[in-house]
Chains A and B, each alone.
Chain A
Amino acid sequence: MRIGFFCVFRRDPQPYALADRMIASVRATMPAYTITQLTDLTSPPCDGIDDLRRLPPGPMLERRIEHYSLCTAADWLLLDTDVELRADVSSVFPPHPFDVALADRNWPHLPQGDAVMHTMPFNTGVVFSRNPAFWLDVLAVWRAYPPEARDWMSEQRAVYHVVRTGRYLVQILPGQIYNYPPASPEDSCIGAKIVHHKGPRKDWWLARPSPQAQLTVTT
């Protein structure tokens, strides 16, 4: 299994600050796996990665899906930078015959509303991917969207569109365990193997002391 994440620098350093923490959490829970940063031609590598893949610059969502479609020859755990691993989740892969495993949005503490659940019931911040063809299809669907429909959630709508075609074997994981957004800054996230610090939770996460700061480092 490999870990992949998309991170580019567009004048905002926050994705890099988040990626630092995400990488640290992966190292702490699954130290044996290769971590690959998926990025553009000019963004710098994050500290702690093993591998870097670059594509020419373009719309972020499109590039991200394109990168995912090129994640071949392995089982890939594809993460957003604001995701924190709390446990080794590699066991999701071996015994289960699936093309992709997606986490649902069934978060009792964070009801999503009918519109979200009907158009994008899976959050793509955490994706277990075995079949890159799935992402090629997502890319084709996304590219067919008119420009005004290519908002930042459009990729998740495209994913659901491809899921509904029935062409792929999709395993649905409980979002409470594999893609858990904390309810508050004090939420200890008990039971969650993967915590997703999405939206305002990013600031909550970054406000906490960095685990890496405990290391003895010299300048």
Chain B
Amino acid sequence: MKIPYPLTAAVAPAERYAQMKLALAIAADRHYGRLAATPITDDRTMLIACYGPSLLTTWETLRDQHAAGAPILSMSGATRFLADRGIIADYHLDMDPRAYKSRHLDPPIPGVHYLMASCCPPATWDLLRGERVTLWHTQQADDPTESLTVDSWVAKYDAPGQFIVHGGSTIGLTALHIAGLLGYRHLEIHGMDGSFAAVAADPANGSTDGRHAGIHFAKKLQPSDKTWDAEGRTYRTSNIMANAVAETINTVSHFPIFTVFHGDGLTQALIREANVPNACTANQTEKADRIRRATVRVLALPPLRQKRIASYWDAMIDAVDPSAVPELLRLLRVAQSRRALAKFNTGSISIETALQLRALSTFHRPVIIAEVGTFIGSSTYALRAASALYTCDVSNDCLPADPANHIIPHPYTTATVMFERMLAVGLHGQVDLFFFDGRLSPADAALIERLGHPRSIFAFDDCHPTIGGGKGLANLRLLQPLARDHAPIPPSPTFANRSTLGALVPFVTADAAAEQPQEQLQCA
């Protein structure tokens, strides 16, 4: 989602860096710790308490969730708002460099752990004397005085190995990332509205225009002159709020986090409209229940070189040497010339599917491949096996053996017979990649289970309700129970109807992913 308005800095960079120097000096004096990364797990949830007006309606839910054991990461005036209601947040987060913002800390609330950005104003440190404080650094513009990026500046002035948190334009957005550093990716988010309350004002709480849940200290209020329609309703918002809303939708869409938004506001409406698999609102009860139980699993992917990667297949193809394209077109032309030999003349794969198969072979480097549906050899030659490629066709004998390319055809042979022959020559648990362009039987599935291993990859042509009689989907469903640690990969949206190749690809363990820094996280 596009960020609608230009983002402007609240405080000039030189002043921010001066404040950071002061913060580091005080941190050294008071022995403040630095925020460190805690391993993330799926068995715990963090409550994010923002200060939007809907907190007025959801704080009791938050209180119950807190009582059930989930810690609260709070911010702005929300920390005091909750304290006034007997709820002591576990953490208070702040990164606002403007001097008057420190009034939200006055006086500090006993029992709260203050997670303060180094750019916070000097008054912060006077107020937090004697409190539990942890320091962290936020992404910001370069230091104009020393011509240093923030990374270089922190490396120069702070202890080695410090994080720079790229949180976003508001403290609420940053809280999502800080929660990750604290070891959480399941987040229950309260008061992140991005809009004004429909019924403005709660004078008893000091909220005069529906902008916040209660008293908020500001020098100059941003005009509330913007509107944004969602779910058929018009929400009143401001430039900063609207930007934050767009950033929120982008963040939950692109990061492996699970978020349930509470309350009523523009953000919540857009979350429902976005309908991403890992975010919803609390009143979407069934989805919320699913999201609360969801886990992240990791797929191995090649390093991503381009920005716009829309799918697993995009990522795989991005890693293929482009010279494969004309080579594959040559191979397809050669394959087409074999049609004359076909007794049962049928369709063959597209260049897109050929490229996807080559991508799988290039990245996973299979030693042994089994293919069902040789026909004229288009897919056979798109695949690449280091040791042997066994391929069968029940109706045709179009492809001669090709020892140079390790191709071992089985003409006029069913998959069942070929699999049995493979087992007979001792290939138990040795097939790294299966490609199916023919319908499998339950008997085949049992043989495939014996030939494959936990990290085998299964690729299916015709993963489509009607194309190819839907045999790809039928095959995928047949093998899915045997591949519970595999992710189903749908056909490439980039290629639309030009390729119907689907796959079952094994997840890798978090440890394996950590050992391979080039791999990317995928939400499953």
Contacts and interface: CB of A to CB of B under 8 A. Distances in A.
A binds B: yes
Interface of A: 9, 11-14, 16-17, 20, 42-47, 203, 206, 209-210, 212-219
Interface in B143-163: none
A209 B352 CA distance: 16
Contact of A12 (B326, B330, B495): B495
A108 B34 CA distance: 72
A43 B323 CA distance: 8
A92 to B, nearest CB: 30
Given A14-B351, A14-B352, A9 B337 contact: no
A13 B355 contact: yes
Interface string B333-365: 110110100000000001110110000000000
Contacts of B350: 206
Contact of A16 (B314, B318, B329, B402): B329
A150 to B, nearest CB: 16
A13 B325 contact: yes
B326 A219 contact: no
A47 B331 CA distance: 12
B333 A213 contact: yes
Nearest to A43: B322
Contacts of B495: 12
Contact of B498 (A14, A46, A47): A14
B337 A16 contact: no
5 contacts: A44-B325, A44-B326, A46-B326, A47-B326, A219-B381
A212 B333 contact: yes
A12 B494 contact: yes
Contacts of A213: 333, 336-337, 339
Contacts, number: 64
Contact of A11 (B318, B326, B351): B318
A44 B323 CA distance: 5
Given A47-B329, A210-B336, A11 B494 contact: yes
A210 B330 CA distance: 11
Given A11-B314, A47-B326, A217-B333, 17 more contacts: A9-B325, A11-B317, A14-B352, A16-B325, A16-B326, A16-B329, A16-B351, A43-B322, A44-B322, A44-B323, A45-B326, A203-B497, A203-B498, A210-B336, A216-B337, A217-B334, A219-B381
Q: Main SS of the interface on chain A? A: loop
A109 B337 CA distance: 35
A9 B329 contact: no
A5 to B, nearest CB: 14
Contact of B351 (A17, A45, A212, A215): A17
Contact of A217 (B337, B339, B351): B337
A215 B326 contact: no
A190 B350 CA distance: 28
A118 B513 CA distance: 56
Q: Main SS of the interface on chain B? A: helix
Category for how many chain B residues contact A = 20 to 34
A13 to B, nearest CB: 5
A217 B334 CA distance: 6
Interface of B: 306, 314, 317-318, 322-323, 325-326, 328-331, 333-334, 336-337, 339, 350-352, 354-355, 381, 402, 405, 494-495, 497-498
B334 A218 contact: yes
B6 to A, nearest CB: 15
B322 A210 contact: no
A219 B331 contact: yes
A20 B329 contact: yes
Contacts of A43: 322
A13 B333 contact: no
Nearest to B328: A13
Nearest to A16: B325
Contacts of A45: 326
Nearest to A9: B322
Nearest to B352: A13
Nearest to B495: A12
Contacts of B339: 213
A44 to B, nearest CB: 4
Nearest to A12: B494
Given A12-B495, A213-B336, A214-B337, A219 B402 contact: yes
A13 B351 contact: yes
Nearest to A214: B337
A54 to B, nearest CB: 13
Of the listed residues B337, B339, B381, B405, the one surrounded by the most CB atoms of chain A closer than 10 A to its CB is B337
A11 B306 contact: yes
A196 B218 CA distance: 62
A210 B494 contact: no
A219 B306 CA distance: 33
A4 to B, nearest CB: 18
Contacts of B306: 11
Nearest to B310: A11
Contacts of A217: 330, 333-334, 337
A45 B327 CA distance: 10
A209 B336 contact: yes
Contacts of B326: 16, 44-47
A12 B381 CA distance: 19
A44 B330 CA distance: 13
Contacts of A203: 497-498
Contacts of B317: 11
Contacts of A17: 329, 351
A9 to B, nearest CB: 5
B332 to A, nearest CB: 8
Nearest to B337: A213
A44 B354 CA distance: 17
Contacts of B318: 11
A46 B330 CA distance: 10
Contacts of B333: 20, 210, 212-213, 215, 217
A160 B329 CA distance: 36
Contacts of A16: 325-326, 329, 351
A212 B328 CA distance: 14
B405 to A, nearest CB: 8
Contacts of A13: 325, 328-329, 351-352, 354-355
Contacts of A20: 329, 333
Of the listed residues A12, A42, A209, A215, the one surrounded by the most CB atoms of chain B closer than 10 A to its CB is A12
A20 B336 CA distance: 14
Contacts of B497: 203
Contacts of A206: 350
A20 B325 CA distance: 11
Nearest to A18: B351
Of the listed residues A44, A206, A216, the one surrounded by the most CB atoms of chain B closer than 10 A to its CB is A44
